[in-house]
């Protein structure tokens, strides 16, 4: 039976602002480098006002949003459930998702009083990204924000790991997972960030309880979650909680378990400017491959190519010319029209 959507995602809705900074700036302002830290709105605005650097255009962000937009850019069909307020940033976010071709319900903003979430993404010269996030109304994502009809008509449910920091969103994620299992929809999730694993491991364990079909993480998250000292050991442990696992290794590619054997995903060598959104792009492209008939190996090749392209530019979203190049790559390599 053909499903209407390739991917149904559940995640935080954050308006991202990127700023190029140096490590001295982070130290001066007491910002922990390379991870995501939850902050209140006052702290977020203070940092934005005191950082000295090159500010880039804002974009609709959040891990799951980046992934579903990546899938949509490749020609996939995606639905995203998230929450924004009835404010200027919320309207911007809703319009941005619409423009990306991602189905959502964000036009229904009546009654969503509060402040739309926002994320300050600080990019250092080593291309590393450091995020300080004010969740705003995104932390109030609840079960009633799930569109069960769309979820049941999707190949995959994708749960963003950042949701575990909010009790309401965590509960909604578990409800969505249970419904997906009942309806035969595959469940994919991500560990999202070392700090999520460090501070919310019991909540992540609840998401993974009973196993998921596909788990994404990077090497730092994998080692933190499993308490091991190498990714091979981590992969073995994680494969007991997920049928399939992908551990991204930055410029070294990725290590994966396809359900039967371990497979290495080779990197595409590029000069990285900004790694913000690279893991999200990898996951979105990978799931586009899996939901559109590609093999595990080819899905990995596509994900590696797409994420390599992303890190050569600033921002979590491929520019239009890069999207065209990616679409040509898909047609040439995999004969997907």
Taking only the tens place, the pLDDT of each residue in 248-261 is: 999 999 999 999 99
| Pairing label, strands 212-218, 186-190 | parallel
Categorize the per-residue pLDDT at 276 as very low, low, confident or very high, splitting at 50, 70 and 90. confident
pLDDT in tens, 147-200: 999 999 999 999 999 999 999 999 999 999 999 999 999 999 999 999 999 999
pLDDT value at 109 more than 80: no
- CB proximity list for 205: less than 8 A, separation 6 or greater: none
Please determine, for residue 110, whether its predicted confidence score (pLDDT) is greater than 70: no
pLDDT tens string 51-67: 888 888 888 999 999 99
- Pick the range with the lowest mean pLDDT from 33-42, 74-83, 143-152, 310-319: 310-319
Residue 245 CB neighbour total at 10 angstroms: 26
Q: CB under 8 Å to 186, separation ≥6 — which residues?
A: 155, 156, 157, 180, 213, 214
Point out the least confidently predicted range of 10-19, 145-154, 322-331: 322-331
pLDDT at 141: 93
Q: Is the pLDDT of residue 108 over 90?
A: no
Statement: residue 229 has pLDDT above 70: yes
Rounded CA separation 177/207 (Å): 8
Q: What was the pLDDT predicted at 150?
A: 98
Given a cut of 90, is residue 317 above it in pLDDT?
no
Q: What is the mean pLDDT of residues 304-315?
A: 91
pLDDT at 209 over 90: yes
Query: What HEC string does the chain produce?
Result: CCCCEEEEEECCCEEEEEEECCHHHHHHCCCCCCCEEECCHHHHHHHHHHCCCEECCCEEECHHHHHHHHHHHCCCCEEEECCCCCCHHHHHHHHHHHHCCCECCCCCCCCCCCCCEEEEEEECCCCCEEEEEECHHHHHCCHHHCCHHHHHCEEEEEECHHHHHCHHHHHHHHHHHHHHHHHCCEEEEECCCHHHHHHHHHHHHHHHCCCEEEEEEEHHHHHHHHCCCCHHHHHHHHCCCEEEEEEECHHHCEEEECCCCEEEECCCCCCCCCCCCHHHHHHHHHHHHHHCCCCHHHHHHHHHHHHHHHCCCCCCCCCHHHHHHHHHHHHHHHCCC
Average pLDDT over residues 19-38: 94
- Taking the model in full, what pTM does it have? 0.93
Pick the range with the lowest mean pLDDT from 1-15, 168-182, 305-319. 305-319
Spell out the residues 6+ positions from residue 189 whose beta carbon is closer than 8 angstroms to its own. Answer: 158, 159, 160, 161, 207, 208, 212, 214, 215, 216
Q: Which fold has domain 5-12+62-115+139-334?
A: 3.40.1190
Neighbours of 19 (CB within 10 A): 18
The strand pair at 129-134 and 242-248 is best described as unpaired
Averaged pLDDT for residues 261-285: 93
d(CA 65, CA 82): 9
Cβ neighbours for 133, distance < 8 A, ≥ 6 positions apart: 12, 14, 36, 37, 38, 39, 44, 117, 118, 119, 120
Reported confidence tier of residue 328, pLDDT bands at 50, 70, 90: confident
- More confident site: 215 or 108: 215
Burial of 244 (0-12, 13-18, 19+ CB in 10 A): buried
Residue 97: band (very low, low, confident or very high) from pLDDT cuts 50, 70, 90: very high
Which band of pLDDT confidence, cut at 50, 70 and 90, is reported for residue 337? low
Asked if the model's pLDDT at residue 107 lies above 80, the reply is no
Whether the Cβ atoms of residue 109 and residue 86 lie closer than 8 Å to each other: yes
Whether the per-residue pLDDT at 315 is higher than 90: the answer is no
pLDDT, averaged across the chain: 93
């Amino acid at each position: 039976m053909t499903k209407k959507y390739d991917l149904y995602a559940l995640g935080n809705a954050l308006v991202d602002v990127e700023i190029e900074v140096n490590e001295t700036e982070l130290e001066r302002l007491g910002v922990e480098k390379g991870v995501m830290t939850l902050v209140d709105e006052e702290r977020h605005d203070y940092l934005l006002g005191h950082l000295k650097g090159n500010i880039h255009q804002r974009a609709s962000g959040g891990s799951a949003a980046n992934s579903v937009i990546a899938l949509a850019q490749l020609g996939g069909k995606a639905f995203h459930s998230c929450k924004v307020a009835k404010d200027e940033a919320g309207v911007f976010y809703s319009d941005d998702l619409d423009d990306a071709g991602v189905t959502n319900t964000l036009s229904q903003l009546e009654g969503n009083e509060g402040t739309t979430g926002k994320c300050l993404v600080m990019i250092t010269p080593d291309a590393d990204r450091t995020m300080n996030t004010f969740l705003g109304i995104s932390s109030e994502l609840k079960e009633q924000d799930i569109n069960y009809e769309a979820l049941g008509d999707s190949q995959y449910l994708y749960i963003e790991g950042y949701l575990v920091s909010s009790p309401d969103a965590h509960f909604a994620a578990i409800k969505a997972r249970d419904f997906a299992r009942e309806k035969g929809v595959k469940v994919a999730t991500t560990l999202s960030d070392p700090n999520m694993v460090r501070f919310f491991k019991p909540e992540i364990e609840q998401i993974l309880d009973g196993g998921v079909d596909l788990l994404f993480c990077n090497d730092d998250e994998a080692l933190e979650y499993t308490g091991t000292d190498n990714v091979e050991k981590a992969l073995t442990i994680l494969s007991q909680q997920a049928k399939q696992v992908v551990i991204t290794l930055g410029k070294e590619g990725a290590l994966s378990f396809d359900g039967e054997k371990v497979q290495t995903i080779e990197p595409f060598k590029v000069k990285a400017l900004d790694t913000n959104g690279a893991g999200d792009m990898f996951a979105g492209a990978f799931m586009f491959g899996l939901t559109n008939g590609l093999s595990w190996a080819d899905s990995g090749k596509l994900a590696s190519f797409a994420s390599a392209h992303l890190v050569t530019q600033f921002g979590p979203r491929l520019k239009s010319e890069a999207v065209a190049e990616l679409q040509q790559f898909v047609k040439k390599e995999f004969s997907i029209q």
